[in-house]
Amino acid sequence: MRDNPVIFQGFEWYLPADQRHYKRLLSVLPHLHAIGVTALWLPPACKAGNSTGNGYDVYDLYDLGEFEQRGSQSTKWGPKGDLMDLAKRAKELGVELIFDAVLNHRCGGDGKETVVAVEVHPNNRLKDLCEPREVETWLKFDFSGRGGQYSDVKYDWNMFNASDWDDRTQSRGIFKIKSGGKDWAKDVSKEWGNGDYLMFNNCDYTNKVLSKDVKNWGVWVTKELGLGGFRLDAMQHFSHNLSMDFIKYVRDSVQDEGRDVFFVGEYWSGDVDILDAYLEKSLPDLHLYDAPLLYNMAMLSWDKKPDLRTVFERTLVCTRPDNAVTLVMNHDTQKGQVMESPISPSFTPLAYALILFREAGYPCVFYGDMYGICEPHAQRSTCGGKLADLILARKLYAYGEQEDYFLNPELVGWVRRGVDDEDGSMKAGMAVVMHWSGPPNHAPALSPSSSMSSNRPEWIRKLSDNLGKFKPPSSGRIPSQKMKVGREHAGEIWTDILCGSKYKVVIGRDGCGVFPCPKNTLTVYVKEGVDGRERFPVGFARSIEEHRGASFG
């Protein structure tokens, strides 16, 4: 993995279904690359069950917006031609593409089949609600619009073990198929008794034809788009054996091309022990999203007596730093979604500093924080328009040994000392200070738990019942933190990239400086005149539609 990599999640949930999103990403990709984005997480690019679907309601893996199926040739995001243009430009720039692979289920069957099934309890998939009976389910997938191109495999009931719809009774539920002696996968999470079923028509990976076809698809799409990696959606809800086989099969099949394929799994749990146990039995370089860290930051951002020193407690980036993809927000945690986890807007820049400027973790930046979110929950970009500055600062200065100054509940900081580059040059370091005493008085009285889905309660835990009482800094005095950046910097002046030269810190002969940080904000100090310092402020467009008029540095 290259120095200081950054993933950019290239979508949010409410983007318009205008089939122009690949064009938007193509237009901004050079600018994202210039500030330090090294990988682009694509929205689910396979044909959905309907023309406006985001792709998590996947119909045909092999249709990337190329065939007239499910009411449209294009996907919501755009036609395959636009996707190929984006892939070509990404390759030119050296930006890796990460494909959002939805392997757990299929949606939008072409025809009905009659099977024997039993309805199970939605909160306990091991509890039957009735005797087995015949149901009519949409489990025939002919993919006639594709006509056998890329794969001649068609789906029938043998490739599924459950469905959410009985057409005979026009009723919705979870209908576990009993025909053929089918059962739930055993190597899945214990959520709802057994976590195999999530939604729609659930794939049965004991079927060897299906398993082989999906693995072949992984190789095909990797080569077709020149992928650098995959995000595996809803990983706890489908066979662990299949997911490991998929990863090994794809890697083995493209190794002659010298391609190093990255994999991150969405196993969404706030319990780090669950994530750790899953990684323990997985391939050593599999990554997972650090949901516990996201929830810690969300809780801290609304806590009336926060303790910043606890932010990394029981997080994946703490227990398994080489396997953690860190994030502040994504399409599932944004407002209106099932795992909505609001972070106080004033805290969002601090949250991004906690994932972008640390040694550990592979940070992922959310589209909505960079370019805003569409209706019905419209919001402008976050971080006061400074998110691009933070990403660029990571690219230029977040190098070298890290020393933490987590001494005060409200005020923490750390130093990155820089490192000698292979060409003999020096990659500069930085000094980061953040202050947080709680949300502003006008903030809504809520915490992430108020809107969290009731079926995923495991993350809702108190940070600590024994936080010591402390006094806020005296009014009129700017909080500051003394930190050592190194004797080699003695006499230098360091300034905050976010506030220009408003705060100047002279490094003493002992290599220390006293770094100010106003209440409830963030400061990021670098040496005055260091290479790249003139690029701040970045002036990045706060709307993707405005980017052509912006100065990108």
CB atoms within 10 A of CB 71: 12
Q: List Cα–Cα distances, 550 to 118, 354, 370, 553, in angstroms.
A: 58, 27, 14, 9
Query: What's 252's DSSP letter?
Result: H
Q: Which of 82, 266, 290, 303 is catalytic?
A: 266
Residue 195 CB-half CA count within 13 A? 18
The residues pairing with 8 across neighbouring beta strands, listed in sequence order, are 40, 365
- Does the annotation mark 389 as catalytic? no
Buried b (16+ CB within 10 A) or exposed e, 37-68: bbbbbbbbbbbbbebebbbbbbbbbbbbbbbe
Site of tokens 């009723």: 171
Please, is 295 exposed, middle or buried when counting C-beta atoms within 10 Å of its C-beta (0-12, 13-18, 19+)?
A: buried
Label each residue of 38-86 as H, E or C: CEEECCCCCEECCCCCCCCCEEECCCCCCCCECCECCECCECHHHHHHH
355 three-state secondary structure: helix
Helix (H) / strand (E) containing 420: strand 419-420
Token couple for 17: 């279904």
Rounded to an integer, what distance in angstroms lies between the CA atom of residue 87 and that of residue 40? 10
Those residues whose C-beta lies under 8 Å from the C-beta of residue 151, and which sit 6 or more positions away, are: 62, 213, 216, 217, 220
Label each residue of 199-226 as H, E or C: CCEEECCCCHHHHHHHHHHHHHHHHHHC
Query: What's 511's DSSP letter?
Result: S
Token couple for 119: 């309805």
Q: Which of 96, 119, 196, 233 is catalytic?
A: 233
| Residue 379 contacts residue 359 (beta carbons within 8 Å) | no
How far from chain centre, in Å, is Cα 31? 20
| Residue 269 contacts residue 278 (beta carbons within 8 Å) | no
| Nearest C-alpha neighbor of 35 from the set 538, 467, 546, 545 | 538
- Does the annotation mark 266 as catalytic? yes
Rounded to an integer, what distance in angstroms lies between the CA atom of residue 497 and that of residue 479? 18
| Residue 26 contacts residue 81 (beta carbons within 8 Å) | no
How far from chain centre, in Å, is Cα 35? 19
| Nearest C-alpha neighbor of 505 from the set 527, 486, 487, 521 | 527
Those residues whose C-beta lies under 8 Å from the C-beta of residue 412, and which sit 6 or more positions away, are: 308, 309, 404, 405, 406, 433, 434, 481
Site of tokens 């990239």: 497
Active site positions, annotated: 233, 266
